Each structure stands twice: as structure tokens, then as C-alpha cells.
Amino acid sequence: MDLSDLEKAILEYLEKQNNGFKWVLGKKVFTKDETIRLFKEDEKFRKMIVEQAVLLAIDLFEKGD
Amino acid sequence: MLILGIAPKWDEATNHSYSWFYDLYKEVRKLGYGRWILLLQEDATRENTEKFLREERIDLIVFYDHGTEEGLVAQDGHEYCLDKRNLHLVAGKTIYTLACLSGKDYGVEAYNKYDCVFWGYEKEFGFTVGEDEHLFKECANHGLIYKLKHNSSWREAYEKTIEKFNEAIRKAKSLWSKMWLRHDRDALVCYSKDMPPPKPKCPLRRLAIRLFGEIGRKIRRIFVLGVALQWLGIGLCVHDFILEAQKISDPYRFPPHGFWFGIGFIIAGFFMITYNYVRWLLWRS
């Protein structure tokens, strides 16, 4: 698995979260371990998260917050 | 105003949406708006939804649970409370929902064909559990509360909700929450007279909208096909009649005369237009 700098940063962020980290997308509930596992193994999932992170960064820069 | 509140509860995600619905219900009650009919948990079925939509004069439907492009999912996830098959029951009403993906296709059809106001999400709704969850709830509930509190237009309620999402993005403690708040903000859609859905991709539908305005959104494909078949049938019959009159056709040829195809097309077109008309009458009633 060859990760880009952004992907590495996201993975590091996820690993730093406490064990109670949980989020929901549609019908699916993701725990910390599940998120990290999918981020490492599932390319589609990883791309989706990276896309969301990039869109957030663009949004924050546009708003200048 | 009569409000039909539907909130199934059957998995972990719906545990949260159920509690958000209950907060919305309490807020709206506090504002003194409307009389509620509640279909909660086991009662949130298609059968009950259709029953109340037929028997009561519902103005607003508030639905908090899962959704798909096809419709709004009922208790246990095996069927839909509302989908395209019972859209005629919600004609002219307002649907306010948290349901994922419902704004993509179902909501567009509800607005285009059945004059509904539709508030929902065109992508999956995401949220974090924990210290930022209340921000997601506040944003999800804000549109309806603002609309009722200020008697505003849906467009204004939508704009204020986008502002609320932006404020929540600023307030959120975790980056992960900010990420999904932004995602939900951009997935939020509201279709009403003052903010219709984007024009469809189909060139024929765009032509119909250009020719007939907003009515062009309502013209059903079966109606257009029925009319086209009838004209094709008439054309074939006239053509065949002219050939017969000129005595240049063989009455015993195979395949049979275009006249009979023409008659077939006219009859098929007639049934399509009649079916469309009956559906329209049902909707009107």
C-alpha cells in the first residue's frame, strides 16, 4: 500500500482518535478500528474519505476561517 | 396544519435519527404549530402511512429514517413508507426528511409530477457520534423550525439552514465532524416553487420545459408516447388508404397491410392516453 502524504495524515489522525470514535454514513456505522481497516484496505473507501477531506479544505480556505 | 410524523427505529443509525425526530417534534410543539399524527417504530409502516394519507388531510410529512433514491424506508427496512408507487397520495403536500439519497430522484419526481415541496438530501447523510452530534441534529432540524417560527419561504429556510451548517462547521470540535457537516450541507436540497430542481438532462424534457414552462416537467412519457403512436397510426392508415385508392397495393400481401398496424398503434395510443388521464383524475381526487 503506497499512501500519499494526505492519506498518511488522515490515517495518523484516525489512529490518534480514542476508542469511542464512531460515525455513521447512511445505514453504515463505523468504529475507529473499522474506519482504519477500511481506509487501509478498501481503495474506494479511502478515495471517498480523501475526497471529503479535500472538499473540506477547499471550503475552509474559501471561507477564510 | 396537520403533520404526519414518521420515525422508524430498527438499527443503530435510526436510534439517532429517532431521537433527533423527537427533539424536532418537541420544538415544533413548543412553537404551537400543528396537530401531529405520529407513526413511530413498529407503527411506521407503508400500510399505516397510506391509511393516514387517505383518511386525513395531511399538510406536512416529517420523515426521519433511512432513504434511497426510490423512497423513504419503513420500519425494519423491508419496504418503503413512501415511494414512487404511492406518490399520488402525497400530491400537493410538503415532505421534510432526513432520509439519505431521497432528494436525488424521489424528491425530484415528487416536485415535478405531484407539486410537492420536498426537503431532503441527495447523498448519504453522515454524522459523528459523540460531542458534535448535537450540531448535526440542529442542522437537520433547523429548516422546519425556522420555516414555522418565521413563517418564511422555503428558499429562506434553506438559506438559513446553509448558514447554520456553516456555523456548525466552525463550531465542530473534530475535523471528522467538520468534514461530514460540509458533506451534508452540500447534499441538502429543497425543491419548491421558488427553488425548483435543476433542469433535467433529457433533451426532450428540456424542450417540453422550454415550450410549456413548469408544466413541461409534469408531462408524462406515457402520454407523449401515446400521442406519438396515435399520429403514427393515423399516418400509416392514410398512407395505406392512398395506396388502396390508387390500386397499387396487393390486398393479400404478407406481412399485412400497414392499415392494420396503423389501427393497432391508434388503439395502443388510445389506451396509453386513457391510462394517463385516469391517473391524473386519481391524483386530482
Q: Does B229 lie in the same domain as B187?
A: no
- Burial pattern B223-254, b for ≥16 Cβ within 10 A else e, equals bbebeebbebbeebbeebeeeeeeeeeeeeee
Q: How close A1 gets to chain B, by Cα (Å)?
A: 23
**Residue B110 in contact with residue B197, Cβ under 8 Å?**
no
| A26 and chain B in contact, CB less than 8 A | yes
Q: Does B139 lie in the same domain as B271?
A: no
How does strand A28-31 pair with strand B71-73?
Answer: unpaired
Interatomic CA distance for residues B1 and A47, integer angstroms:
45
Q: Is residue B214 part of a domain?
A: no
Q: Is residue B203 part of a domain?
A: no
Domain that holds residue B131: 2-191
Interatomic CA distance for residues B141 and B254, integer angstroms:
67
Q: Is residue B211 part of a domain?
A: no
The total domain count for chain B is 2
Task: Identify the pLDDT of residue B221.
Answer: 86
Collect all residues of chain A within an 8 Å Cβ-Cβ radius of residue B66.
26-27
Q: Is residue B12 part of a domain?
A: yes
Q: Is residue B206 part of a domain?
A: no
Interatomic CA distance for residues B19 and B280, integer angstroms:
38
Q: Does B50 lie in the same domain as B181?
A: yes
Looking at chain A from residue 35 to 64, which residues have their Cβ under 8 Å from any Cβ of chain B?
52-53, 55-56, 59-60, 63
Q: Does B148 lie in the same domain as B78?
A: yes
Q: Does B240 lie in the same domain as B184?
A: no
Q: How close B158 gets to chain A, by Cα (Å)?
A: 19
Task: Identify the pLDDT of residue B32.
Answer: 87
Q: Does B163 lie in the same domain as B33?
A: yes
* Rounded average pLDDT over A3-21: 93
Beta carbons of B100 and A22 less than 8 Å apart: no
Maximum Cα–Cα distance across chain A: 34
Beta carbons of B170 and A22 less than 8 Å apart: no
Q: Does B138 lie in the same domain as B13?
A: yes
Q: Which of B191, B206, B240 is the last residue of a domain?
A: B191
Q: Does B231 lie in the same domain as B185?
A: no
Q: Structural domain boundaries of chain A?
A: 5-63
CATH number at residue B41: 3.40.50.1460
Of A23, A53, A59, the CB nearest to B129: A23
Of A22, A52, A60, the CB nearest to B183: A52
The torsion angles phi and psi of A38, rounded to 5 degrees, stand at -65, -35
Q: Does B182 lie in the same domain as B86?
A: yes
The pLDDT of residue A25 is above 70: yes
Task: Identify the pLDDT of residue B15.
Answer: 94
Task: Identify the pLDDT of residue A2.
Answer: 63
* Rounded average pLDDT over A24-37: 96
Q: Does B176 lie in the same domain as B226?
A: no
Q: Extract the C-alpha cell encoding B160.
A: 438559513
Size of interface A-B (CB pairs under 8 A): 60
pLDDT band at A40 (very low <50, low <70, confident <90, very high): very high
Q: Which residues are within 8 A (CB) of B112 and not within 5 positions of it... i.e. 6 or more apart?
A: B197, B217, B218
- Render each residue's pLDDT in chain B as its tens digit; 285 residues: 899 999 999 999 999 999 999 999 999 999 888 899 999 999 999 999 999 999 999 999 999 999 999 999 999 999 999 999 999 899 999 999 999 999 999 999 999 988 899 999 999 999 999 999 999 999 999 999 999 999 999 999 999 999 999 999 999 999 999 999 999 999 999 999 989 998 888 888 888 888 888 788 888 889 999 999 999 999 998 888 887 777 666 656 656 678 888 999 999 999 999 998 898 887 776
Q: Is residue B198 part of a domain?
A: no
Q: Does B171 lie in the same domain as B88?
A: yes
Task: Identify the pLDDT of residue B220.
Answer: 85
Q: Is residue B196 part of a domain?
A: no
Task: Give this prediction's pTM.
Answer: 0.84
Interatomic CA distance for residues B232 and B240, integer angstroms:
12
Q: Does B57 lie in the same domain as B169?
A: yes
| A22 and chain B in contact, CB less than 8 A | yes
The pLDDT of residue A14 is above 90: yes
